[in-house]
Structure 1
Amino acid sequence: MPRPRNDPRQYDDLAGEWWRPGGEFELLHWLAAARGALVPAAPRRGAILVDAGCGGGLLAPHVERLGYRHVGVDLRRSGLEQSAARGMLAVSGDVTAIPLADECADVVVAGEILEHVTDLPATVAELCRVLRPGGLLVLDTVNDTRLGRFVSVTLGERFGAAPVGIHDPELFVDPGDLTTQCAKHGVRLRVRGVRPGLPGLIRWLFLPPGAKPSRLGRMVPTRSTQVLYQGMGRKQGGADVTGRWGRQAEDQE
């Protein structure tokens, strides 16, 4: 039977897609690379990066040389097993009640998870709670706009850019609301838009399944936040975020 929209059990159904080249989670790999490019090198030995809603551990290869102890938190065992296989410390838990100590993390990453939670304020509070003063919050999500819903659900599901039913558009996240929620917990969030690079997107959508190589494309920055956007901010008590968005190249396609 089809799952309800946004049912977490879909990730068990799709467990074989996390690392399949050109598979249904291909765009998530591009987003993970773009997130990883925003994470600086670990500030000290033993620094912790908490990956909230880590899924199958797609961020791991993009931060493995930065010197962090990479802790992944997720509800689904199928994803945690794949995260652990890639060297992460896998922790079973809900992002609305992260089972980690206060202020334990130097970096908290929340990639493509906020548009799946039913309690955004509680989730933001938890992300900020485990972040130490001066620590960095990095995230990306889908905007709560007509265009965001049309591209991510209507077009995305029709053309195979997103698994059918994986999103509930009622949970998409307004960046103004997200910025306000973060500010309540001492994090001044800055946002910018991202989009798939067109050559890679075309290859992914139109190449025959057997001809799709691994990692067909990448995300590039864009001025518009109407569909996908990234956020980055530091928790009060440390240096402000610089004007440069991490190590990600700013070149456009």
Structure 2
Amino acid sequence: MRSMPRNDPRQYDDLVTEWWRPAGTFAILHWLAAARAALIPPASGPGRVLVDAGCGGGLLAPHLRGKGYRHIGVDLRHAGLRQAAPRGMTAVNGDVTALPLAARSADVVVAGEILEHVTDLPGTVAELCRVLRPGGLVVLDTINDTALARLITVTLGERFGVAPVGLHDPALFVPPRRLVAEFARHGVTLKVRGVRPSMRGLFRWLALRREVSGRPIVPAPSTAVLYQGIGSKSLGIEGRDRYTRERHAG
């Protein structure tokens, strides 16, 4: 792979063939996508839209089949989108800091393993909230800004091949308290919980480089390394009125 600065998005172009190798470089991203999808309920009616911000190669798509959403994936890299498009989703080229979507157009917004890569966290959160309808759901996962997270994700992770060298810039890791506060500024109440790979699944992948089945991501007692977030956008007076009209119309 080319020598690049940490967190350079061009790395994903060089790694494009890894997106759909379940036992390959992005194995843990497959596991996290499945865990993320478990937090997303079936669509409450026809025409519901789910926006997958920073969708990469579309790893969330298989886990949404049968849930009834129009799945729109937005990503900066064309190479990943070409992998995502055949997976049953609408692939859109765009930046998560300026989503090419209308305000209040999404019933669910998903941000999986993207917030630790953005250089403008407030702007990104503002965009996620802008496209989310009042009463809509946000689901995310990201990496905490702790010494333990830097040790596991960068120092050890890169040494043992859990993450490609240079994929993360630990200066961009996101403390939960900051993320909760950013979402609260836009009327989204976010709750977080720690998660981690199962020891059995991680060992099987590291030692044997084989695909892992079952539940390779499990709850963790701490948010110190990886954590999920789930929240809903406040209806407000205008939002409550619109929500009532839509439900009656549906």
The verdict on a shared fold, with TM-score over 0.5 as the criterion, is: yes
Distance 2:58 2:22 in 1: 15
Q: Deviations over 1:174-221 (max 9, x none)?
A: 1000000000000000000000011110011111x5xx2365861001
Q: Deviations over 1:58-92 (max 9, x none)?
A: 00011121000000000001111111110110000
Residue type of the alignment partner of 2:4:
R
Residue type of the alignment partner of 1:146:
A
Distance 1:213 1:231 in 2: 26
Residue from 218, 221, 224 that aligns with 1:223 = 221
TM-aligned CA distance change 1:77 to 1:63, over 3 Å:
same
1:43 aligns with 2:44: yes
- 1:71 match: secondary structure: strand
Distance 2:221 2:85 in 1: 36
Distance 2:201 2:214 in 1: 5
Match of 1:201 in 2: 202
Q: Deviations over 1:82-140 (max 9, x none)?
A: 11110110000000000000000000000000000000000000000000000000000
Counting aligned pairs with the same residue, the percent is 68
Gapped runs of 5+ residues in structure 2? 240-250
- 1:161 match: secondary structure: coil
Residue type of the alignment partner of 2:149:
G
1:101 aligns with 2:102: yes
Structure with the higher fraction of residues in helix conformation? 2
Match of 1:68 in 2: 69
Distance 1:7 1:225 in 2: 26
- 2:71 match: secondary structure: strand
Match of 1:30 in 2: 31
TM-aligned CA distance change 1:216 to 1:206, over 3 Å:
farther
Match of 1:189 in 2: 190
Runs of 4+ in 1 over 4 A off after TM superposition: 214-217
Gapped runs of 5+ residues in structure 1? 240-253
Match of 1:236 in 2: 234
